[in-house]
Amino acid sequence: MNCRLGCGACCVAPSITSPIPGMPNGKPAGVRCIQLDDNNLCKIFGQPERPDLCDRFAATEDVCGSTNEEALWLITSLEAATIS
């Protein structure tokens, strides 16, 4: 599946522990990444400073569902299930 442009769920729902430009300590789950623009597009897409985790993320139906809202719910649920 291709990423839905303007979704941004993967830039809001999960925690990211690696540094992000403007967020040197990463970001907590549920917090909008500072690199997400007003159109929910990554400002550093394809740039070397983009975290490896973000580069490795691949949109799949089981993670992203069929709508942006479903993606946010699914990724939030996955994040909550991995907190120990």
Domain range for 76: 9-82
pLDDT at 10 over 80: yes
- 78, part of any domain: yes
Q: What would the two tokens of residue 70 be?
A: 């479903």
Taking only the tens place, the pLDDT of each residue in 12-64 is 999 999 999 999 999 999 999 999 999 999 999 999 999 999 999 999 999 99
Q: What would the two tokens of residue 40 be?
A: 């929910």
- 49, part of any domain: yes
If one counts the domains in the chain, the total is 1
- 2, part of any domain: no
Look up the pTM and report it: 0.90
- 4, part of any domain: no
- 65, part of any domain: yes
pLDDT given at position 83: 78
DSSP codes joined into one string, the chain:
----TT--GGGTSS-B-S-BTTBTT-B-TTPPPTTB-TTS-BTTTTSTTS-HHHHH----HHHH-SSHHHHHHHHHHHHHHH--
